[in-house]
Chain A
Amino acid sequence: MIQLVLYLLLGAALFASLLVMAVRRRARAAGSAEAIAGAQQALCTLQSSLLPPELVERIFAREDFEFVAAEVPGPVKGLFLSERKKLALVWAHQVRGAIVCLRRLYLGKARQYARLDFRTEVELAFDFTLLLFACRALELLLHLRGPYAAPRIVRATATAAARICDISETALAFLNPPALAIAEGGTAGRGA
């Protein structure tokens, strides 16, 4: 019986893999201008708009809710909670989307590298998957229990995403203005 179950699970895994392959969108070219621009946009969005600590604290601050609960009638309190929940969900969704974009850049670079290490790649794939899973779990918690359900997870996710940004910034450093200016100066010299 165990053998039958194992074989059936293997068959199901194969059919699921084939389905994923059949419906998969065409992969973007590695290192294409679009992929790099998307990654840099994601990085900028994360660093300037989504992850500043004061913004995260503001969105998830209980003080606002306590003030509203004490000062205004019930329906307004309900409206406040509903709007703040929407805001929190949009924040979590955008953070996850930006991390996906940065992961795509990372995988695009890995694809071209000739000396990939098996164990390293498995560990990194596992770690990225876990981080994205944590973002999904946070979205679910916020959806089910409101914007004040998991403040520590919010802080942890924000910190995790900020560290990913630091690493991705290194990979995209060539797009910074000084590097571009040097490149343009070199090109002009060769053309003259």
Chain B
Amino acid sequence: MLVPVLGTIGILLAFLILLRALHGRMLAGYPCFYCYIAMLLLGTAIAASVRVAFPAKFSQYYWPIQLVTLVFGYGIVLEIFRHVLFSYPGVGRFARVLGLVSLAATLCFALVYPLIAPPSSHIGPYGELERGVRALQAILLVGILAVISHYGIPLGRNMKGMILGYGLYVGTSLVSLAVEAYAGVWLVAVWGFAQPVSLLISLLIWLVALWSYAPNPAPSFDTHLEQDYEALVVRTKMAIGALRSYLFKTVRS
């Protein structure tokens, strides 16, 4: 009973987000994000209709819709690169390398671990696939957030809300799928609500954060400092490396 209610509220919130985007002319500003919201709205509406009209066939429709929505979710990552990291090409490239490294590591883990670990999952192959993709999204988000935090890149209200809502949903989905896969059906009654509730919270965050267009602060590139950064890096690396070995030698003595 609760799940259909949550689904209806989710449809209304997604519809409100799109309506607000149309009214505020923000569709062109964040096209990938609004494609994801539209897909979310469509998928939830189809799933809710099938649950009511053909309950026996619900699982056949649920997972394909969920997986398509998963793929569209990467649109938010694209928006992060476009709006946050585009103005900082070096940092953006750094984040892309980090993303590729995390993708490679996750793929290796996904390929090798099933070969050495015994098959044990209560969530089925689709659930395991979603869990794997959520893990990849989580690693990517953690890497991007680490780069943004380390270099002190400013975030506007729109991007902050987008990242917060998406990160919350990805994290909750990952944890709930991991726990369900391990603990079994008896825990589904509790954790089964975690994903829909977190999606509602994310939709609320997006509705508030994207109520009006608030672009990212433009970078203020200084024109006064014209030092050679590469030379500075080389000197700094040499100095800190020497000091680190000196420091640890001193401590050990």
Contacts and interface: CB of A to CB of B under 8 A. Distances in A.
Interface string A97-137: 00000001011111111111110110111011011001000
A59 to B, nearest CB: 18
A10 B167 contact: no
Nearest to B96: A118
Contacts of B88: 111-112
B150 interface: yes
Judged by DSSP, the binding face of A is: helix
A40 interface: no
Contacts of B89: 114
Contact-size category for A: 35 or more
B246 A109 contact: no
A140 to B, nearest CB: 14
A118 to B, nearest CB: 5
A18 interface: yes
B13 interface: no
A95 to B, nearest CB: 14
Interface stretch (A28-36, A47-55, A70-78, A81-89): A28-36
B179 interface: yes
Contacts of A118: 94, 97-98
22 contacts: A3-B113, A3-B182, A4-B182, A7-B135, A13-B138, A17-B146, A18-B167, A18-B168, A21-B164, A29-B219, A31-B222, A108-B152, A109-B227, A110-B151, A111-B91, A160-B240, A163-B240, A163-B242, A164-B239, A170-B232, A171-B227, A174-B226
Interface of A: 1-4, 7-8, 10-11, 13-15, 17-18, 20-22, 24, 26-32, 36, 104, 106-118, 120-121, 123-125, 127-128, 130-131, 134, 152-153, 155-157, 159-160, 163-164, 166-167, 170-171, 174
Interface of B: 88-91, 93-94, 97-98, 113, 117, 131, 135, 138-139, 141-142, 145-146, 148-155, 160, 163-164, 167-168, 170-172, 174-175, 177-179, 181-182, 219-222, 224-227, 229-230, 232-233, 235-237, 239-244, 246-247, 250-251, 253
